[in-house]
Amino acid sequence: MIQNNPRLATLINGRAVPLEAIAMLTLDDFQQAIVEGVAVGQRVSAMFGAMVQPKANAVELYVVLADDEQNRLYAGRTRIEDDRFLSLTPRCPQVHLFEREIAEQFGLKAIGHPWFKPVRYQHSWTSLDAWDRPSDQPILPGVGDFYRVEGDEVHEVAVGPVHAGIIEPGHFRFQCHGERVFHLEIALGYQHRGVEQSMIGGPNKRSIHYAETLAGDSTIAHSTAYCQAIEALARCQKSARAQMLRGIALELERLANHIGDLGALANDVGFLPTSSYCGRIRGDLLNITAVLCGNRFGRGMVRPGGVGFDIDAARVSEMLRRLDAAERDTTVAVNLLWDTPSVMARFENTGPLPRGIAIELGIVGPAARASGLMRDIRLDQPSGIFRFTHLPVSTCDTGDVFGRAFVRWLEIQQSIKFIREQLSAVPAGSARVAVGSLLPNSFAVTLNESWRGEVCHAAITDTHGRFARYKIVDPSFHNWTALAYALRNQEISDFPLCNKSFNLSYCGNDL
């Protein structure tokens, strides 16, 4: 039986606790608690630094562990007064990027970290720099040592930041032997806009807009997490109607992106029928979201206290009519994929992510589910409408491009069913309620299952009820490493296909 670690505070998704309820541990106890939690199957949802008392020179480190079996979260903290800390990564690989981020943001050296490099190529928030770079010099993105494989016939391929298509920037460094990839290293940070820094001192009139544009294709997921954090800290109850409308918006977002992804996967193997049909149908789904709130990406839909737009019977039947048409078209378009041997030959056994690696790296979302892991926030840490309605979790166990595509297809079918069920019985209530001020000196964590996976927001308020720290973890922050792993021993020409099978967010990672 999985026991709660007595040194950590127990939390629920979407509830705030007083900050003092999170015990201040020694670094040893803090790290040991994480190791023990992960050993019994918990995941690190977030590990981050915060300068909660700006006058003190100490940096506090926080961890949020997710216990999917027990549907609980555990939080702990420690304080680093030095300019360095012993890295936990050798004992717990899934914190590797979190530790690099802490080093970059707070200037702390992670001693013993096996791959100690910047994450976003940004300046430190403090007067310290973990790589002793002068603070008045610009930091060049992507510049540094990359993992190299030596050998006469080994060659290096560098791609990006500007890519061939209409896509966000990122840098990919391949170590290749002929067509075979030995190793892929990914360097991001090109989309770094400084959002976390700008959230401090909020909420203010820009905060909801930051939340909506963290990752522009995950507007609903991130804005819901943000609004839930506000509501947790303001002890605000939303109506069942608002909860349901948020759930519908989230599932519409999932549908649009999954359909688009299946089209893009078809495109990457040169299968134009599904590619062209799905490209269009995705637009039809975005237009259903626009019927709801006027904007194809859901901007303006989720607001603190509820939703920005209500529905009526006429709007419901219009949405259902469009959903029916989209379902018919999608079913025909997607089933072509599984029936076409040339497509399946490209999808199957390409870019495999073994289940054990997915666990070790803390992978989330459809990529984890395609490797056989039953991880879905809507089931494991449900909030909002998902406390009352459960969608079956879609898994596959092949862990390859086919698995990641098939999981998307299963989720498309589940989301359509969910939306129909919810719209057939819309609860009464107001669309939006007023939200008061935030509790001071409190800590709240909110999680949501975006279409890429777990979104985690953690908010800490100061004595005035303003944000002293606002941590955002997009699912891509966990999953970019999975893409790097999946490319090993693959053909470099399969890189676009593998990349698309994960379809991670660059700006969600870069913030």
| Residue among 83 and 310 whose Cβ is closer to another protein | 310
User: Residue 289 CB: number of other CB atoms within 10 A?
Assistant: 24
What DSSP letter does each residue of 153-190 carry, written as one string?
Answer: TEEEEEE-SS-SSS----EEEEEEETTEEEEEEEE--T
* Least gap, CB of 327 to another protein (angstroms): 13
| Residues that bind another protein in the complex, under the rule CB under 8 A | 120-122, 138, 141, 161-162, 164-169, 189-194, 198, 205-206, 208-210, 213-217, 219, 273, 276-277, 279-280, 282-283, 286-287, 290-297, 299-300, 309, 329, 332-333, 335-336, 339-340, 505-507
* Least gap, CB of 277 to another protein (angstroms): 5
Sign of CA dihedral 294, 298, 304, 310: positive
* Least gap, CB of 61 to another protein (angstroms): 23
| Residue among 292 and 455 whose Cβ is closer to another protein | 292
| Residue among 207 and 415 whose Cβ is closer to another protein | 207
Q: Pick from 29, 65, 59: which is nearest to 46 by CA?
A: 65
| Cβ contact 59:469 at 8 Å | no
User: Dihedral through CA 292, CA 296, CA 302, CA 307, nearest 10?
Assistant: -10
| Residue among 358 and 419 whose Cβ is closer to another protein | 419
| Cβ contact 102:47 at 8 Å | yes
* Least gap, CB of 506 to another protein (angstroms): 7
| Cβ contact 307:247 at 8 Å | no
CA atoms within 13 A on the CB side of 149: 18
CA distance 198 to 175: 37
| Cβ contact 48:74 at 8 Å | no
* Least gap, CB of 308 to another protein (angstroms): 9
Residue 220 falls in which region: left (phi positive, over 0), alpha (psi -120 to 50) or beta = alpha
Strand blocks (E) in 379-437: none
Token representation of residue 35:
């190791």
| Residue among 150 and 339 whose Cβ is closer to another protein | 339
| Residue among 190 and 451 whose Cβ is closer to another protein | 190
| Residue among 44 and 215 whose Cβ is closer to another protein | 215
| Residue among 177 and 206 whose Cβ is closer to another protein | 206
* Least gap, CB of 317 to another protein (angstroms): 14
* Least gap, CB of 335 to another protein (angstroms): 8
Is residue 128 within a helix (H) or strand (E), and if so which, with residue range? none
* Least gap, CB of 280 to another protein (angstroms): 5
Q: Between β-strands 109-111 and 84-86, what pairing exists: parallel, antiparallel or unpaired?
A: parallel
Measured CA to CA in angstroms, residue 435 lies from 19, 232, 235, 352, 428 at distances of: 21, 10, 8, 46, 19
* Least gap, CB of 264 to another protein (angstroms): 10
| Residue among 95 and 326 whose Cβ is closer to another protein | 326
Chain-centre distance for alpha carbon 387: 20
Q: Between β-strands 9-11 and 442-450, what pairing exists: parallel, antiparallel or unpaired?
A: unpaired
* Least gap, CB of 166 to another protein (angstroms): 4
Q: Which residues pair with 450 in a beta bridge?
A: 453
Is residue 150 within a helix (H) or strand (E), and if so which, with residue range? none
| Residue among 253 and 449 whose Cβ is closer to another protein | 253
